[in-house]
């Protein structure tokens, strides 16, 4: 059965712009303050409950989400719910949280909580990169991590993104050897398509990703 995100719900209204990306009506669940250096003022961030069908993945997203990553996000959402909103821009393009959006869609959610940024253009692109890069620059305290994971049962550890093999590798300090034979790299078949314009590129990207294709956007 398809269902809404159980942690955020509201009466929704929406309309579509000319580009085919929906814009939300009244989806306000709660508000909080955030300081904006660019505006030199305090903005109110509204937490919205947005239909997934109104949102567009970032066609320029530089972060890849493979099956293992999406599976881990799905486990987290199933166990903990959505504990932080994704970030969308004025055109309903996801600037942070593309993986969460994809996982929620695969789980059959109809709505997802989001906050809307006023950033656009190069600032929006740079923020999307920074959202991933700043987390990547952090380092684990491995001893503390092993202690905390050791206190969790297998289901909770898995929901946190760690399998038994992952925990064993952390404890050993080296990757575990496997008895499975080494298999050759799978063949890859790719197709490059020349689009008429940016709108045509966006429409084709959305259609192919909705069909389960892995797509990359190139602007030459």
CA distance 175 to 171: 10
In this predicted structure, the answer to whether residue 113 has a pLDDT above a threshold of 90 is yes
Q: Are residues 77 and 96 in the same domain?
A: yes
- CA–CA distances in Å: residue 67 to residues 60, 74, 106, 168: 19, 10, 11, 22
Q: Which domain holds residue 56?
A: 14-137
pLDDT at position 98: 95
Which residues face 113 on adjacent strands? 49
Q: Are residues 131 and 206 in the same domain?
A: no
Q: Are residues 124 and 43 in the same domain?
A: yes
* Cβ-defined contacts of 207-215 (< 8 Å, 24+): 209/57
Number of domains in the chain: 3
Tens digits of residue pLDDT in 152-175: 999 999 999 999 999 999 888 754
% of the chain residues with pLDDT over 90 = 48
Q: Are residues 35 and 100 in the same domain?
A: yes
Which residue is it, tokens 């898995």? Answer: 158
Tens digits of residue pLDDT in 54-112: 999 998 888 889 999 999 999 999 999 999 999 999 999 999 999 999 999 999 999 99
Q: Are residues 156 and 72 in the same domain?
A: no
Q: Are residues 112 and 54 in the same domain?
A: yes
Q: Are residues 104 and 203 in the same domain?
A: no
Q: Are residues 122 and 42 in the same domain?
A: yes
Contact between residue 50 and residue 9 where contact means Cβ atoms under 8 Å apart: no
Q: Are residues 133 and 151 in the same domain?
A: no
Q: Are residues 39 and 88 in the same domain?
A: yes
Which secondary-structure segment (H or E) carries 126?
helix 121-136
Angle at 121 between CA 115 and CA 124, to 5 degrees: 40
CA distance 32 to 92: 20
Residue 39 lies in a domain: yes
**Predicted TM-score of the model (pTM):** 0.61
Which residue is it, tokens 């030459």? Answer: 220
Q: Are residues 58 and 109 in the same domain?
A: yes
């Amino acid at each position: 059965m398809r269902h809404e995100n159980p942690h955020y719900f509201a009466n929704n209204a929406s309309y579509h712009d000319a580009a085919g990306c929906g814009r939300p009506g009244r989806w306000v669940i709660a508000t909080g303050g955030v300081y904006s250096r660019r505006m030199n003022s305090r903005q109110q961030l509204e937490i919205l409950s947005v239909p997934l069908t109104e949102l567009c993945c970032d066609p320029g997203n530089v972060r890849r989400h493979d099956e293992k990553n999406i599976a881990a996000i799905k486990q987290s959402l199933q166990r903990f719910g959505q504990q932080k909103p994704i970030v969308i821009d004025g055109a309903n393009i996801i600037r942070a949280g593309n993986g969460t959006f994809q996982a929620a869609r695969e789980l059959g959610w109809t709505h997802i909580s989001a906050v809307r940024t006023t950033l656009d253009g190069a600032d929006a692109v740079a923020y999307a990169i920074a959202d991933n890069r700043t987390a990547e620059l952090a380092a684990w305290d491995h001893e503390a991590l092993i202690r905390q994971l050791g206190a969790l049962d297998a289901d909770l550890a898995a929901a946190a993104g760690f399998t038994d093999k992952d925990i064993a590798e952390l404890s050993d300090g080296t990757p575990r050897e496997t008895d499975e034979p080494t298999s050759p790299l799978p063949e890859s078949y790719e197709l490059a398509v020349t689009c008429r314009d940016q709108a045509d590129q966006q429409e084709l990207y959305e259609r192919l990703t909705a069909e389960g294709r892995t797509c990359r956007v190139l602007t030459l």
